[in-house]
Structure 1
Amino acid sequence: MSNLNSLQYFIPELFLIVAILVIIVVDLFLKKNKKIVSAYLAALTLVVTIFLAYQQYGYSPALLFKGMIVLDSFAIFFKIITALSTLIVIFISLPSFRTKAEYYVLLLIVTLGMFLMVEVNNLLMIIISMEMVGLISYVLVGFNKHDLKSSEASLKFMLYGATSTAVMAFGFSYIYGISGHLNLDVIQQSLIINQPQALPLFVAFMMVLAGLGYKIAMVPFHFWVPDVYEGAPTPITAFLSVGPKAAGLALLIRFLITLVAHPSAGNAANFIQNVSIHAPLLLAALAVATMTLGNLSALMQKNIKRMLGYSAIAHVGYMLMALVVFNNQGIIAVMFYIVVYLFMNFGAFCVVESLTDKLGSEKISAYTGLGYRAPFTAIAMAIFMFSLTGLPPFAGFIGKLYLFAAVINQSWYILALIGLLNSVISLYYYATVVKVMFLNRQENAPPLRVALYNKLLIGALLIPTLVLGLYWSPVINFTSRSIGFLFGK
């Protein structure tokens, strides 16, 4: 489709761009005590953007801007998820960044980058969109410029990000050399028709997997996570654990379909036979390494943000586990898990953000007796912890149930068993937080007053964590309708 005709399908992105410019201009005329208006405008922008994206749901798949962008229900699903994650982060950030208009502008820019990530169909656009997200993320991580940990985290994040992007770009050069094309759909047809040499394609696959693995914090490309999660402002830590990760997973799924799977593949047995990459086995090994290392590392953490950081790595492993089967059931399971993970993980970070200043520490030991000092907040945190573990009747249990069902249905029994053992391991460190809050008690500790705004926000995240554990069919139906184009249905 020509560039001019493509604009009519690019409405959410165009609206986001205009809104960013408007907020920048409006902020110039606002007094310091009125700067919070920029935050409200950013939140309103995201609400409208989500509405505009949803209005496109059900459109016939279309290649935009001469094939560089693909608009399909899969992309729209992830647009809604990434925009929703940014919206929640804005609400979490309001108490801490009331007068920082540039902070909210940066969040909108990174949202635009994530939109491009989930709908790219071109190797160069992949690099541009990932760099757009990455560069702004480095700034957001180091936003507290007077905090040494924040600055250190930003520097480490930037160094790891630059290295991974360079490696991925080199892998793309191999793919271009093999296929002679930049657009993913054309590359796919080229690989199907022409038998590629195994070694260069394998090298390209591994290089690109390194770049995408960095974006989703997959082992062994996860080293940036603990320091960045600890040093970044808590709302940004929460954001990095959901938004860019969801966009990275969407991009990984598109890439795997292009390089190693025919779009009509029904299961892992339909991977292209003339490509000597056993992608399912490789992904299974990475899934095991990711969930195991993430959980074992989380066991040793005393800082709750570092613990949640390693926990986030483990959850990537669970989702990779379902991608191993690479059929519609596996991808539906991953997409549903992203939805429930969004609410329960943001909920946990919202509690951390609400309590850190009042407790004066991010150590887990600082939560001692919280069940008696701030009962509602402690109970909510316990529910988020149990949901992240995967215990019924919470949303996390249903999410993991779908992940394990997808794996077991394709006879990956050992992988499912390892995933189950990892869930048991995770119960220990999640339950430790609950134990500290309810079974340990501080003598003569005064009640801890949590702001009503924070309680309302925690409650808003708690509701879907509870409801999706009991009634999840609308979300499953939505995800099921979102993958038809991927598998040629």
Structure 2
Amino acid sequence: MANLYQSLELIRPEIVLSIALIVLVIFDLIFHVDKKIIPYVALVGLIATGIFTLLNPQSGFAFQQTNLMGKIGIFAVDSFGNYFKILIIISSILIVLYSFSSEEINKIQERIGEYYALIFGMILGMFFIVSATDLILVYLSLELMSLSSYVLAGFTKLRDRNSEASLKYLIYGAVSSGLMLYGISLIYGLTGSTNFYIVNMILQIPNANQFTLAFANVLIFAGIGYKISSVPFHFWTPDVYEGAPITITTYLSVASKAAGFALLIRFIKTTFVSFSDSFGNWQVISSFDWKTLLIIISILTMTLGNFTALWQNNLKRLLAFSSIAHAGYLLLGVVVFSNGGVLAILIYFFVYLLMNYGAFLIVMLISNKSGSENIDDYDGLGYTSPLLAVSFVIFLVSLAGLPPTAGFIGKLYIFIALVDAKMITVAIIALLNTVVSLYYYVRIVKHMYLNKPTENTLTVKPNLGNTILTLVLVIPVLVFGIYFQPLVDWAKNSLNILGLM
């Protein structure tokens, strides 16, 4: 009972989130005619979860067992996991605020309770993913997150492409989940355990079949790679991003990707690293060559994402390929196998949240007016809607990684980690990819400012709420581009990935 009580203490944020989900469903049943209160209930639930996450202990295992290695559990509570949970909460609060202004979501008000319940189910899955230290819990959490996101991708049913997005997402997701489950079964067959720490201990004794282990790792990475949209598991991304409601597209581009990267980092660090030296460099167990695999995938991911984005005319598809390219940059932080690389990822993700959410907010506001996301809708927008146009330019410049925006700081720390690891060639390839990305970002700016307004040019005047929301995103992008020390300090304090107790 003492162990159970301690475990419940450590998963208080998840308990609060679960209670909020139940309350949402109850309120949806009670207020079945007028559901205006539902989004506010969701906001209260998210804020309460965020508070409990901040107050949660920074070190501990939930659901512990005692064995030869001491006390280990299947759920680790540490500063690393809490960092990603806070990012997920911020992302979720912003999505609720976005939903107030989304024309797509306003048209399905009779089902708004189901919409928020599914979002909360997805959040709960992501919370467990970022802290899971057992492959079975990882798989169950991924399924919880995925099943909610499959439904959300086609939730509005306003156009044929909504159902198409949901179906494609489901098919690709089912395949990747099956591959991952097969990989987990192979790991269990080789080691007799699915716990990261026990698998780590057994792999340090080089007696496992190396081919089977490599095959299992590739299959498990297929499941993770699907969530982070890395090549060759990216095929679903452009179609789902284009077909899903803009709010859900935005959410998948950041929150889902954050959970996937948190899982990838924890899985590699906990399962395949024997120790870290005094400089923060990881000593990886020689049972599988993770570095070569991740270098190849990261280069392919950023290159395909950037080059395919060059000829996209739909802004959601363009930002989808941009998101794939950014996954490639983020993978470089994993490739260096050091605390410096993880630090770069943590900084990059917070910055990525701000600039990507900002870009999608502008696309949503313009889509509300035009009914489409075509790049031609942006002709002359710099003259008719200066606030949105200037903000969009700042977000695009930050996505490209140019100073004096926060996007430059995110990429700077990635490049510093690569140089420290003496991976100069990879750094040059990443730099050249950044140059390529400038073309399609500048292409949008060209439509807004070099194409003169006509009688058909849109005039989008955001209301007070959307104006404040735009400024809340654009100001930090500029501020953190100049004064970024608080962000770096927060990331440094979140580097601890829980070890054995």
Q: In the alignment, is residue 95 of structure 1 matched against residue 108 of structure 2?
A: no
SS at match of 2:402: coil
Q: Deviations over 1:2-38 (max 9, x none)?
A: 33331011111111111111121122222534x1211
Q: In the alignment, is residue 27 of structure 1 matched against residue 43 of structure 2?
A: no
1:328–1:487 Cα contact (<8 Å) kept: no
2:43–2:96 Cα contact (<8 Å) kept: yes
1:219–1:289 Cα contact (<8 Å) kept: yes
Distance 1:458 1:292, change over 3 A: same
The residue number in structure 2 matching 1:40 is 40
Q: Deviations over 1:365-385 (max 9, x none)?
A: 110000011000000000000
Instruction: Please give the alpha-carbon distance, in whole angstroms, between the structure 2 residues aligned to 1:60 and 1:436.
Output: 51
1:317-336 equivalences under 5 Å are 317-336=328-347
SS at match of 1:241: helix
The residue number in structure 1 matching 2:13 is 12
1:30-429 equivalences under 5 Å are 30=31, 32-33=33-34, 35-56=35-56, 59-64=58-63, 66=65, 67-96=73-102, 97-98=105-106, 99=109, 100-264=112-276, 270-273=283-286, 275=287, 277-429=288-440
Moved more, 39-48 or 284-293: 39-48
Q: Which amino acid aligns with 1:325?
A: V
Instruction: Please give the alpha-carbon distance, in whole angstroms, between the structure 2 residues aligned to 1:434 and 1:132.
Output: 39
SS at match of 1:361: coil
1:64–1:71 Cα contact (<8 Å) kept: no
2:401–2:408 Cα contact (<8 Å) kept: yes
2:282–2:338 Cα contact (<8 Å) kept: no
1:61–1:73 Cα contact (<8 Å) kept: no
Instruction: Please give the alpha-carbon distance, in whole angstroms, between the structure 1 residues aligned to 2:454 and 2:142.
Output: 50
1:268–1:324 Cα contact (<8 Å) kept: no
Q: Which amino acid aligns with 1:64?
A: F
SS at match of 1:169: helix
Q: Deviations over 1:34-67 (max 9, x none)?
A: x12110110111111111101125x333343541
Q: Which amino acid aligns with 1:36?
A: K
SS at match of 1:242: helix
The residue number in structure 1 matching 2:447 is 436
SS at match of 2:76: strand
Moved more, 131-140 or 182-191: 182-191
Among candidates 467, 478, 487, match of residue 490 of structure 2: 478
Q: Percent identity?
A: 42
Distance 1:165 1:441, change over 3 A: same
Post-superposition offset of 1:488? 8.3
Instruction: Please give the alpha-carbon distance, in whole angstroms, between the structure 1 residues aligned to 2:496 and 2:22.
Output: 36
Gaps of 5+ in 1: none
Moved more, 223-232 or 96-105: 96-105
1:257–1:263 Cα contact (<8 Å) kept: no
Q: Deviations over 1:172-229 (max 9, x none)?
A: 1111111111211111111113532211110011111111000100000000000000
SS at match of 1:270: strand
Distance 1:65 1:140, change over 3 A: farther
Post-superposition offset of 1:454? 1.8
Q: Which amino acid aligns with 1:352?
A: V
Post-superposition offset of 1:404? 0.6
Gaps of 5+ in 2: 66-72
1:268–1:280 Cα contact (<8 Å) kept: no
Instruction: Please give the alpha-carbon distance, in whole angstroms, between the structure 2 residues aligned to 1:251 and 1:182.
Output: 15
1:374–1:450 Cα contact (<8 Å) kept: no
SS at match of 1:68: strand
Instruction: Please give the alpha-carbon distance, in whole angstroms, between the structure 1 residues aligned to 2:274 and 2:75.
Output: 19
Q: Deviations over 1:349-393 (max 9, x none)?
A: 011111102123211111000001100000000000000000100
Instruction: Please give the alpha-carbon distance, in whole angstroms, between the structure 1 residues aligned to 2:475 and 2:81.
Output: 26
Q: What is the Cα-based RMSD across aligned positions, in Å? A: 1.7
Q: Which amino acid aligns with 1:6?
A: S
Q: Which amino acid aligns with 2:116?
A: Y
Q: Which amino acid aligns with 1:104?
A: Y
1:3–1:64 Cα contact (<8 Å) kept: yes
SS at match of 1:61: strand
Q: Deviations over 1:131-157 (max 9, x none)?
A: 000000001001112421010000000
Moved more, 292-301 or 452-461: 452-461
SS at match of 1:36: coil
SS at match of 2:204: helix
Question: Under a length normalisation based on structure 1, what TM-score does the superposition of the two structures give?
Answer: 0.96
Instruction: Please give the alpha-carbon distance, in whole angstroms, between the structure 2 residues aligned to 1:448 and 1:478.
Output: 37
Post-superposition offset of 1:268? 6.2
Instruction: Please give the alpha-carbon distance, in whole angstroms, between the structure 1 residues aligned to 2:282 and 2:342.
Output: 16
Post-superposition offset of 1:446? 6.5
Q: Which amino acid aligns with 1:256?
A: I
Instruction: Please give the alpha-carbon distance, in whole angstroms, between the structure 1 residues aligned to 2:181 and 2:353.
Output: 30
Instruction: Please give the alpha-carbon distance, in whole angstroms, between the structure 2 residues aligned to 1:269 and 1:80.
Output: 26
1:369–1:438 Cα contact (<8 Å) kept: yes
Count of residue correspondences: 485
Instruction: Please give the alpha-carbon distance, in whole angstroms, between the structure 1 residues aligned to 2:183 and 2:326.
Output: 26
SS at match of 1:155: helix
Q: Which amino acid aligns with 2:380?
A: G
1:394–1:469 Cα contact (<8 Å) kept: yes
Distance 1:471 1:64, change over 3 A: farther
Instruction: Please give the alpha-carbon distance, in whole angstroms, between the structure 2 residues aligned to 1:481 and 1:438.
Output: 42
